[in-house]
Chains A and B, each alone.
Chain A
Amino acid sequence: MFDDFLFRALLAGIGIALVTGPLGCFVVWRRMSFFGDTLSHSALLGVLLSVAFNLNISLTIFAVSSLIALILLRLQKTTNLPNDALLGLLSHSALAVGMVVLGFLSFIRFDIMGLLFGDILSVNVYDLLAIWIGGAFILLVLWYIWKPLFASTVNYELAEAEGMNPERVNAIFTILLAALIAISIKMVGLLLITGMLIIPTTMARNLSNNPKKMVILSIIGGLLSVFIGLYTSFEINTSSGPTIVVVALILFILSLVGIRKKNYG
């Protein structure tokens, strides 16, 4: 059964949607969508380094993205530059350095489109293992830090005053995001991971009046996008990553119809 690429793609997509749901909620609540972009842009550098030095692709992306995340946290503390400027700085620097490195690697045939938008045909059993083991680990850690992370999302100082450690859980959360990007890049592509993170979540926001419901609905939205998107991309022969994101967008548009005023408190 694992030889069937569609089945592998489906398993990979389910694994990713289960993780992007809850992580995406925090990304939206904390207004970090641009941060997701920064991390995924830095993934390009990770992919190229892994090719150049023949390293494990997921681990290299994880290492590079984590490094960028930690540099960001450091810069936030030591400079007075606003957050969006710092994110832009890191995002475009990582992208530019990645493209320059790509120039040095001209002897390697490289599927840049697959990297940017995901390539479902290339998902192999090892990628599946990375997604499911990595994903389970991400969810486990998230479960463990949920309360302090949520409290510091609502009010940083209140959480700190009442004995939680917001700085630490924030750092852990950014590492979890880096890990998600590392495991999902093959499936969704680095330009679209942020879309996978936030579009099902914004759909869920339109239909929720409490945080728990929003997390559950964004997981459901992600799963639906994967099911319908994969099937469609298979039937009409389109790229899988963009198709999944387009389905998510359609679900979001449908959710606008379902908006009740009460959810707009």
Chain B
Amino acid sequence: MGNNENILVKMSNAGILMNDKWLVKDVSLEIHKGEIVTIIGPNGSGKSTTAKIALGLFEKINGHVDRYTNKISYVPQKVLIDWTLPLRVIDFMTLTQDLESDEIKYSLNLTGVEHLMSRNIRELSGGEFQRVLLARAIAKKPELLVLDEPVQGVDFAGEVALYALIKKISETLNCGILLISHDLHVVMSATDYVVCLNGHVCCSGSPVDVAKDKNYKELFGERSSQLLSIYEHDHDHVHTADGNIEKSEN
């Protein structure tokens, strides 16, 4: 992990005890500028809860969380827009921030949904809405970006492209990203540090280290660690939609 000047969030043994039951326990992690930290884990393992602890959405937590920035953007796992509220994409973009129309267009363009700008949010498909959520989150150039399953409902080609975009965002904005995902193999390639969660931290480290960890194999099975190997070789080719392999240009 990076040095201390670039630290954005530090969680020390953080956890939530609700009705005598630990939702998540003893999570320690740090997020630094320009770094992508990914939390993976099975359903109900406390991934979203951990993200919310990092964001400070709980009043009472065990342990400590220190945040060193207030330029934070959040993509929640679920955003339901009530029918009674007529909301266009352009209205949604300026929900918590004031934006020039150039900025709105630019970030919608980055996630490939500029053409949806004046559409009603409720008309969008799941994947389109996910792209709008991401565009809104990056529009004001945050220092910390928390993404809770940001590619759900996005088609596979789009998924790979969006993870590539997330990687690019962390590089160009030099922001720290806390990414929550359950699709392991795609996300592994675009991450600097992985926290494997199952009510507590099972294992953590670089993607390669985590994939070799026996706790990780126990949690996700042998096959998932083999999946990772796809991403350990040098990528000098691209897989086209019809299954052919082409030499990539770089």
Contact = CB atoms under 8 A, between A and B. Distances in A.
Contacts of A163: 70, 72, 96
A29 B82 contact: yes
Interface stretch (A10-18, A145-153, A176-184): A145-153
B123 interface: yes
Interface stretch (A40-48, A81-89, A117-125, A154-162): A154-162
A205 B86 CA distance: 7
Interface residues of A, number: 28
Interface stretch (A103-111, A208-216, A237-245): A208-216
A158 B74 contact: yes
Contacts of B146: 161
A158 B76 contact: yes
A211 B82 contact: no
Interface string B87-126: 1100110011100000000000000000000011111000
Q: Which of B91, B96, B119 has the most CB of A within 10 A?
A: B96
B73 interface: yes
Interface string A194-234: 00000000100100111101100000000000000000000
Nearest to A148: B96
Contacts of B72: 161-163
Residue from A28, A150, A158, A214 whose CB has the most chain B CB atoms within 10 Å: A158
A48 B181 CA distance: 58
Contacts, number: 77
Contact of A265 (B74, B91, B120): B120
Contact of A211 (B70, B86, B119): B86
A76 interface: no
Classify the secondary structure of A's interface with B.
Answer: helix
A63 interface: no
A74 interface: no
Interface residues of B, number: 28
A205 B84 contact: yes
B86 A159 contact: no
Contacts of B157: none
A49 B134 CA distance: 53
B241 interface: no
A211 B84 CA distance: 10
A260 to B, nearest CB: 12
Contacts of A154: 79, 81, 85, 87, 92, 95
Interface in B16-74: 52, 55-57, 70, 72-74
Given A154-B85, A161-B55, A210 B91 contact: yes
Interface of A: 28-29, 31, 147, 150-151, 153-155, 157-164, 202, 205, 208-211, 213-214, 262-263, 265
Interface of B: 52, 55-57, 70, 72-74, 76, 79, 81-82, 84-88, 91-92, 95-97, 119-123, 146
